[in-house]
Amino acid sequence: MVEETLVLIKPDGVARSLTGEILRRIEAKGYSLVDIRMVQPERDILAAHYAEHEGKPFYEPLVEFMLSGPIVAIRVAGDRVIEGFRMLSGTTDPTLAAPGTIRGDFGRDWGLKVQQNLVHGSDSPESAARELALWFA
Ligand code: DAT
Ligand code: MG
């Protein structure tokens, strides 16, 4: 089933010049880049994007981190791409993410925080629709 998902390359991914490598992995898997833009987001879009995490202890550091530099927003299409990109990405904590995944291969645990995990991928069809509307309004 062809789906679309929202991928964000977070400020650490852009700052570490991993944009091309992350795009390469998405394309190598066979997914299509439908739309792409570089954004310096405002707080309001991040508050909407991460609304489910409001009130959690990591929420403020997460939003501050996401405001710390440009990010790349990508509309990605492919067969079961929502779950598939989550697998390419690896588990949330880069320290535990499996080798072969983006977070597992490039995440580092020395002095870095969990939010510095390079990428975001929508976690369900509902999230994907909501997030794509937000970032590609
Ligand atoms: P994911 O990005 O894997 O979907 P999530 O939606 O649960 O993870 O959390 C959003 C982001 O918040 C995540 O990419 C990194 C950060 N985060 C999550 N859990 C955290 C924690 N326990 N401590 C610090 N940051 C955390
Ligand atoms: Mg999430």
Q: Name the residue of 9, 50, 62 whose CB sits within 8 Å of the most ligand 1 atoms, as the mutation to test its pocket.
A: 62
H or E segment at 22?
helix 19-28
pLDDT at 87: 98
Q: The domain containing residue 107 runs over which residues?
A: 2-135
Number of domains in the chain: 1
53 catalytically annotated = no
Q: Is 58 in the pocket of ligand 1 (CB under 6 A)?
A: yes
Rg (CA), the chain: 14
CA 80 – CA 84 distance, rounded (Å):
6
From residue 106, alpha-carbon distances to 32, 73, 115 in Å are 22, 19, 13
pLDDT at 108: 74
Q: What is the pLDDT along the chain (137 residues), one digit of tens a residue?
A: 999 999 999 999 999 999 999 999 999 999 999 999 999 999 999 999 999 999 999 999 999 999 999 999 999 999 999 999 999 999 999 989 999 999 999 987 666 788 899 999 999 999 999 999 999 99
pLDDT at 114: 85
Amino acid at 83: E
Which CATH number covers residue 115?
A: 3.30.70.141
Q: Is 3 left (phi over 0), alpha (psi -120 to 50) or beta?
A: beta
